[in-house]
Structure 1
Amino acid sequence: MNASDVRDRIGYAAGLFGWVALPYLAGSVLSWQTFGAGIGPAFFPPAGVTVAAMLLNRRALWPVIVAAIVVAELAVDLRYGAAVGTSVGFALANSVEPLVGASCVLAWCKGPPDLRERADLARFVAGAMILGPLAGGVVGGVTTAITNQVWSPIVILHWWAGDGVGVLLIGAPILLWRFQSHLLRARLLETFLVLGAMAGLTVVSFRLEIPPALFLLPVMAWAALRLDMIGAALCGGVLAFTANSMANVGYTTFENLDLRAPGQLAVAQAFIGVVVLVAMLTAQEAAGRVTAVQQRQAERRERARLETLANLGQLLSGAFTQNQIGDAVLGQVINDAGAQALAVGLVNDEGTALEWVAMGGYPEFVANQFSDGVALEDATAATDTVRTGKPVVIRTVAEYRRRYPDNAKWMVASGGAAVASWPLTVGGKAIGALVLAWADPQPLDTAQLAYTSAVATMIGQALVRARMYADEHARAAVLQAAVLPTSPAVIAGVDVGVSYEPADVVQGLGGDWYDALELPHGQTYLAVGDVVGHGLPAVEDMAQLRSAGRALAFQGLPPAQLLVALNTFTRQASNGKFATMGVAVLDPATATLSYASAGHPPPLLRRAGTGTVIRLSGAHGPVLGPIERASYSEGHVEVYDGDILVMYTDGLIERRGQDIESGMARVQQLVAQWSGDEVLPPACRQLTQTLAPPPRDDDVCVVAVRFGAIDTNGSADR
């Protein structure tokens, strides 16, 4: 550990000490002066501060928190005249309390609790609000008994009630802050109103001796339904502060109970705790119902997008002119996917302007203003996308006005609220832009942006095919470059390396392909394939099969079902009528790799733990082609962090005078010699050069995928 790291750790520890000690001092003084009612603290806010601090920091920092507790407790107790022995006993009690509470909660929740979850809330209540304060109350009760020479169980009840409510009303908002503070910021005025109403009605209830539930429960319900759990907890904190302040000056609603003053206060605290817990549970239930509705709406939107992608893929596969492409995109993306306006632009031959291939959904005056295109030097979302090759995502009119002040008037005039501009690329170079616009505010979340990216990819492929249709070899080369990038896209959680070597080294055209695609919900789609033939027909078949496979993968089809659907597509759309394909889908949530094969060589899996290489031969099925009612089996294997999957086409293993089994065994042997931490692209190229050096009779494609950040609790033998 270097000196900088040491300084950072010391600085963090010092800051943590201050963040615990200062609120502890303030809360303790407030408890003695305001919440004592003449009998000692009845509501103890520091209890919530200390247990929340322990739940949010690693155990190595707990001694710092305990030190802050001891220093602050001794300072306050001695200031208010407590004996040294009593002060030490109280410091011990207030240290034991969060240690017990936080330890129980962390053990039961397997980490810091998410109080939005009912199970975690119950564990928090049981551990931090009940067991911790009870342990502290026992130590505090013993200390009081030794000091006063009298044992009284009511002291423990008094301690437990005050500290338990402090944990709930102070600790809970702290833990919820990172999840729900945005709700308060979004409704700041309403937050102040509900908190002010709670304080005012509590004063009225206590002064007029009206049952507090009459006034307070409706306000608590308001907070729970509008501000969620953090609103209910903060409202409860205001209730506790106000109620205890009123009790301190002689107003209470529980004086008729046959209990001494500490017991009455304990009952009052229990009442507050129950009210707040009921409100938090109400907020949980309301949030759960809202989330369920939102999930159903999101699922419907996702299904609509997937259906649009599938339909768009079919339409674009038969579109050979820019007008046909524009009509297909306008009909699918605007009518079926919810965008109110769309424009597709291509850079002109001179490279000076963006000319529109399709434009729809815009008001007539906006369409007329930009009908001749936009100069690339102008500052717009579309031209920025072309110049940088990167998407431009704008969620509000204010953001558009900040970025493009000269053109913001057109967005305002057309009623636009959100814009996404995505590059259309060929070989890594932007040749145009897809612009989607919405009249209503949009989250433009991962699902929407993934959909926009998929549409842009399909449009780019179709436009390239239409634009270069006059020259067969040029068309084939550009099409292959469009759909088969030289390097795969970056995908979170996996490291992908590729080597592609066509048999036709002059034209560089072939029918092999690969794919590595991040799917919704964190899954990863992997594929390799090989169509019959070379040149333009093979490239066209490859492009259609690869695009169709992507669309089917986006629909969530598992590998075997994807091949069934793709086989039907191949019978109707391909030139060569035959293709082999291997498909795999990684689900990081279960650390499972599902795979299927359509007459393709089985992939290999190198285990990181042992270096052994296994052949994934648990899936079988016929080649893609004119085979009706074809069926495919599916294999499943658990993968671990560092495992490497190797997928390849038959050009790597087929040689004159050598059987395929010998070729697969040779690949297996070479992969077993890897160290496991290779840079994958050079490793794939080396594998190709070793096993399939030029001149080649067939295309060769090798894909290696190293799995990372796989979290599995499985105990399978590695």
Structure 2
Amino acid sequence: MRLGNRPLVGRATGLFAVVFLAYGVGLSLTWRSLDATVGPAFFPAAGVSVAAMLLVRRALWPAVLAAIALAELLIDVHYGEPVHRIVGYVVANCLVPVIGAGVVLRWCRGRPDLRRRHDFTAFLLGGCLVGPLAGGLLGGWAGLREGGASWLAGALYWAAGDGIGVLVVATPILLWPVQRHILSRRRWETATVLAVTAALSVAAFSLGAPPAMLILPVLAWAAFRLDMIGAALAGLVIAVLANIMTRYGRGIFVNVALAVPTRVALTQLFLAVILVIALLIAQEVAGRTVAVQARESERRERLRLESLSGLAQRLSAALTPDDIGRAVVDEVLTEAGATAVNLGVISAGGQTLDWVVMAGYPPSVVAEYAGGVAIAEQTVATDAARTGRPVVVRSAVEYIHRYPAQANWVRSSGAETVVGWPLIDDRTPIGAVLLVWSESQPLDAAQLAYVSAVAAMVTQALVRARVYAAEDARATVLQAAVLPDSPAEVKGLELCVVYEPADVFEGLGGDWYDTLPLPGGRTYLAVGDVVGHGLPAVEDMAQLRSAGRALAHQGLSPGRVLAELNGFTRHASLGKFATMVVAITEPDGRMLAYASAGHPPPLVRRNRTDEVVRLDAASGPVLGPMPDADFPEAAVSIECGDILLMYTDGLVERRGLDIDEGIARAVKAVAGWGPDTCLTGICRDLPEILAPRPRADDVCLLAVRFD
């Protein structure tokens, strides 16, 4: 029930009108069945009142109670009830929702979600049992008629009718906000289920056939196909028809040789049992469906990670745009399940989007678009390349609506879901990657993060390929592309990096650092070292750094990042092994998770105590040699002003000096840093203090002060 943002009085007025009308209809249905042979099987008005109180905040409950009281008064007067009985009915029928809804809200700690077993149980106990029993204690007395049954029998009869009413009426009302989309997607099936339910119910009530044999199968159909809301609506149809049929002496148990109250009780029990069974079946089916979907999501995530790992490996060796295009086709089109893929780059004049590769399309589509697309033309790929923003189209209908001029290729290729992602280098779009699926895709955060990671990796590869054509500059440019002079700014962190190669003339080595803001406010920090020097070491470093960024962007923990990189290094690295330490800060910046692969331990200088802590609680083997190695991870608390130092072994290891002694010297040097010391200055001085030239190894360090 959406009441908008109108003033409280306006919302209360609207609520009053809705409850008054719905409650009045339910109460009238009950009154019209009072002279039946068996009597009313349920009291639908109770379901209206309980559902209303569960859906609105307590400040609006008086409007609900006023609507109940007025509807009860007017209809009871119309049917000639005496004053004392009307008063009893009003009080009892107000008591049912107040107590029932109050108990449910307390047990559920808020509005119940009947899809959850705990909330559904609380609804059954509180709304369908406790509330009706409380109302029945008063209503049983008010409903006593001359020569009628005892007060206790009347109370139980009242409670049973209210309980069934709450079950069959309140359940679909409460499920409507969260499950109506199921009915919208299957309108014809919903109508068929309800029609068949009505027909079989009438047959069961009229012909004396076993009701369970006719009704339970269609309830199971509703539960399996339409979830809980389908089963609830089918149950409502059955209950209404039971009430109407009893009006004409056609109740379910009308021919059973039992007293009228007993037959009524059996009718109520039958309705309650079959509906609860159907709802529980729907819950179980939904739970199993969710489990299957979770396993499928996990499988897709595993395939995406494998695809990213393979793509990183292929792109690291790609020297030309054609190499990059083949890698994208093999890893994204073949391994990740896309139906078709385009990789386009903006031409030198900026007038066209030229396809590097176009794969997975029918020949007619390839023939029409193989020459590229004018950048001004309205398509998913050109919009992404022109604006620098992703374009997501979730269905073919949406695509044709947004891009009517491109409808032919969508129909020809059978495209259902299309995503265009810009390739951005230094804030400038250089192209776009287009992914097409023939089946509808969820396009959840994980899938979009995968597309983003693919685009980021392809962008880096294209940038490298452009400069790699210049043989004399390719190694230098490659290293500069993956090792910027200064790290990207990260909110809440003061960052300083230093990289000094052992060969000051060539300047090429295998050490690297990385900082990357991650989704959710986390930050990825890494320092690594591949074996060797020169161009092979730079290539290894570049692909490991790129793969590490992509894996971290997917949300993997430090240990998982290293585990994935371990297999990658074994098969893709020219040097066949590398060391690396990974740390990820939490959004609040007060916890730091880390893991190490054969790397010297990072150091944390505590601002409050000047203590220097070695982060050596999560050490694993070097990357590459051990295919099934485990990489444990640990976490450490961080306070404002603390400084993290990550470094390569060139800072602490030298000829004639044991590495443990070198680390001890580093601890002593870091302990002498003051809280107001310039981070850039002390970081640039540290290599000369601990590892003065000439050096046999590169030195790389990353320092982070937590603000």
> Into which bin does the TM-score normalised by the smaller protein fall?
0.7 to 0.9
| Equivalent residue, structure 1, for 2:157 | 158
Question: In the alignment, which of 526, 529, 532 is matched to residue 528 of structure 1?
Answer: 526
Write out aligned runs for 1:24-173 (5 A).
Answer: 24-34=23-33, 37=36, 42-144=41-143, 151-173=150-172
**Counterparts of 1:643 and 1:140, CA distance in 2:** 65
| Equivalent residue, structure 2, for 1:239 | 238
Distance 1:694 1:604, change over 3 A: closer
Number of residue equivalences: 666
Deviation at 1:318, TM superposition (A): 1.7
Q: Which amino acid aligns with 1:514?
A: T
The 10-residue stretch of structure 1 (526-535 or 392-401) with the greater mean CA deviation from structure 2: 526-535
Q: Secondary structure at the match of 1:468?
A: helix
**Counterparts of 1:367 and 1:113, CA distance in 2:** 53
Q: Does the CA contact (< 8 Å) of 2:53 and 2:64 recur in 1? A: yes
Q: Does the CA contact (< 8 Å) of 2:487 and 2:515 recur in 1? A: no
Q: Does the CA contact (< 8 Å) of 1:584 and 1:596 recur in 2? A: no
| Equivalent residue, structure 2, for 1:573 | 573
Q: Which amino acid aligns with 1:526?
A: Y
**Counterparts of 2:176 and 2:610, CA distance in 1:** 47
| Equivalent residue, structure 2, for 1:429 | 428
Distance 1:465 1:496, change over 3 A: farther
Q: Which amino acid aligns with 1:394?
A: V
Deviation at 1:47, TM superposition (A): 1.7
Cα RMSD over matched residues?
Answer: 4.5
Write out aligned runs for 1:385-464 (5 A).
Answer: 385-464=384-463
Cα-to-partner distance string for 1:326-384 (whole Å, 9 max, x where unaligned): 11111111221211211111111111111111221122232232222211011111100
Q: Secondary structure at the match of 2:602?
A: coil
**Counterparts of 1:281 and 1:539, CA distance in 2:** 60
**Counterparts of 1:146 and 1:97, CA distance in 2:** 21
Q: Which amino acid aligns with 2:267?
A: A
| Equivalent residue, structure 2, for 1:619 | 617
**Counterparts of 2:640 and 2:170, CA distance in 1:** 42
Q: Which amino acid aligns with 2:138?
A: V
**Counterparts of 1:576 and 1:257, CA distance in 2:** 84
Q: Does the CA contact (< 8 Å) of 1:537 and 1:576 recur in 2? A: no
Q: Does the CA contact (< 8 Å) of 2:446 and 2:554 recur in 1? A: no
Is residue 180 from structure 1 mapped to residue 183 from structure 2 by the alignment?
no
Q: Which amino acid aligns with 1:380?
A: T
Q: Secondary structure at the match of 1:407?
A: helix
Deviation at 1:404, TM superposition (A): 1.4
Q: Does the CA contact (< 8 Å) of 2:49 and 2:97 recur in 1? A: yes
Unaligned runs of 5+ in 2: 501-506, 653-661, 689-698
| Equivalent residue, structure 1, for 2:693 | none
| Equivalent residue, structure 1, for 2:691 | none
Distance 1:188 1:304, change over 3 A: same
**Counterparts of 1:691 and 1:538, CA distance in 2:** 28
**Counterparts of 1:614 and 1:243, CA distance in 2:** 78
| Equivalent residue, structure 2, for 1:714 | none
**Counterparts of 2:600 and 2:149, CA distance in 1:** 86
Distance 1:665 1:176, change over 3 A: farther
The 10-residue stretch of structure 1 (531-540 or 400-409) with the greater mean CA deviation from structure 2: 531-540
Distance 1:33 1:386, change over 3 A: same
The 10-residue stretch of structure 1 (594-603 or 689-698) with the greater mean CA deviation from structure 2: 689-698
**Counterparts of 1:59 and 1:612, CA distance in 2:** 55
Deviation at 1:204, TM superposition (A): 3.1
Deviation at 1:85, TM superposition (A): 3.5
Write out aligned runs for 1:8-19 (5 A).
Answer: 8-19=7-18
**Counterparts of 2:48 and 2:669, CA distance in 1:** 66
Deviation at 1:52, TM superposition (A): 2.2
Q: Which amino acid aligns with 2:328?
A: V
Q: Which amino acid aligns with 2:443?
A: L
Q: Secondary structure at the match of 2:460?
A: helix
Q: Does the CA contact (< 8 Å) of 2:418 and 2:434 recur in 1? A: yes
Q: Does the CA contact (< 8 Å) of 1:619 and 1:632 recur in 2? A: no
**Counterparts of 2:107 and 2:221, CA distance in 1:** 31
TM-score (norm 2): 0.80
Deviation at 1:702, TM superposition (A): 6.0
Cα-to-partner distance string for 1:43-68 (whole Å, 9 max, x where unaligned): 22222222223333344444443344
| Equivalent residue, structure 2, for 1:682 | none
Deviation at 1:157, TM superposition (A): 2.0
Q: Does the CA contact (< 8 Å) of 1:564 and 1:632 recur in 2? A: yes
Q: Which amino acid aligns with 1:196?
A: A
Distance 1:587 1:18, change over 3 A: farther
Q: Does the CA contact (< 8 Å) of 1:199 and 1:242 recur in 2? A: yes
| Equivalent residue, structure 1, for 2:582 | 582
Please say which structure displays the higher CA radius of gyration: 2
Distance 1:626 1:345, change over 3 A: closer
Q: Does the CA contact (< 8 Å) of 1:183 and 1:227 recur in 2? A: yes
Cα-to-partner distance string for 1:141-166 (whole Å, 9 max, x where unaligned): 24345999974222122212211111
Q: Does the CA contact (< 8 Å) of 1:417 and 1:440 recur in 2? A: yes
Deviation at 1:612, TM superposition (A): 13
Distance 1:427 1:18, change over 3 A: farther
Cα-to-partner distance string for 1:117-176 (whole Å, 9 max, x where unaligned): 334323321221112211111121243459999742221222122111111111111221
Q: Which amino acid aligns with 1:621?
A: S
Distance 1:85 1:293, change over 3 A: same
Q: Does the CA contact (< 8 Å) of 2:38 and 2:254 recur in 1? A: no
Q: Which amino acid aligns with 1:512?
A: Y
**Counterparts of 1:71 and 1:638, CA distance in 2:** 62
Q: Does the CA contact (< 8 Å) of 1:47 and 1:98 recur in 2? A: yes
Q: Does the CA contact (< 8 Å) of 1:570 and 1:624 recur in 2? A: no
The 10-residue stretch of structure 1 (54-63 or 433-442) with the greater mean CA deviation from structure 2: 54-63
| Equivalent residue, structure 1, for 2:695 | none
Distance 1:362 1:631, change over 3 A: closer
Write out aligned runs for 1:351-362 (5 A).
Answer: 351-362=350-361
**Counterparts of 1:576 and 1:537, CA distance in 2:** 11
Distance 1:128 1:539, change over 3 A: farther
**Counterparts of 1:596 and 1:68, CA distance in 2:** 63
Q: Does the CA contact (< 8 Å) of 2:308 and 2:454 recur in 1? A: yes
| Equivalent residue, structure 1, for 2:370 | 371
Write out aligned runs for 1:616-655 (5 A).
Answer: 617=615, 619-621=617-619, 633-636=632-635, 649=646
Q: Secondary structure at the match of 1:362?
A: coil
Is residue 515 from structure 1 mapped to residue 516 from structure 2 by the alignment?
yes
The 10-residue stretch of structure 1 (36-45 or 417-426) with the greater mean CA deviation from structure 2: 36-45
Q: Secondary structure at the match of 2:294?
A: helix
Distance 1:474 1:133, change over 3 A: same
**Counterparts of 1:577 and 1:200, CA distance in 2:** 72
Unaligned runs of 5+ in 1: 489-494, 671-685, 707-718
The 10-residue stretch of structure 1 (66-75 or 432-441) with the greater mean CA deviation from structure 2: 66-75
Q: Which amino acid aligns with 2:435?
A: L
| Equivalent residue, structure 2, for 1:599 | 600
The 10-residue stretch of structure 1 (254-263 or 101-110) with the greater mean CA deviation from structure 2: 254-263
Q: Secondary structure at the match of 1:433?
A: strand
**Counterparts of 1:644 and 1:78, CA distance in 2:** 76
Q: Does the CA contact (< 8 Å) of 1:366 and 1:414 recur in 2? A: yes
Q: Does the CA contact (< 8 Å) of 1:604 and 1:615 recur in 2? A: yes
**Counterparts of 1:636 and 1:226, CA distance in 2:** 46
Q: Does the CA contact (< 8 Å) of 1:344 and 1:357 recur in 2? A: yes
Is residue 346 from structure 1 mapped to residue 345 from structure 2 by the alignment?
yes
| Equivalent residue, structure 1, for 2:200 | 201
Q: Does the CA contact (< 8 Å) of 1:511 and 1:539 recur in 2? A: no
**Counterparts of 1:8 and 1:704, CA distance in 2:** 50
TM-score (norm 1): 0.79
Q: Which amino acid aligns with 2:518?
A: L
Deviation at 1:537, TM superposition (A): 8.8
Q: Does the CA contact (< 8 Å) of 1:154 and 1:263 recur in 2? A: no
Deviation at 1:241, TM superposition (A): 0.8
Q: Which amino acid aligns with 1:601?
A: P
Cα-to-partner distance string for 1:630-660 (whole Å, 9 max, x where unaligned): 8754224699xx9999755469xx999x965
Deviation at 1:212, TM superposition (A): 2.4
Deviation at 1:230, TM superposition (A): 0.9
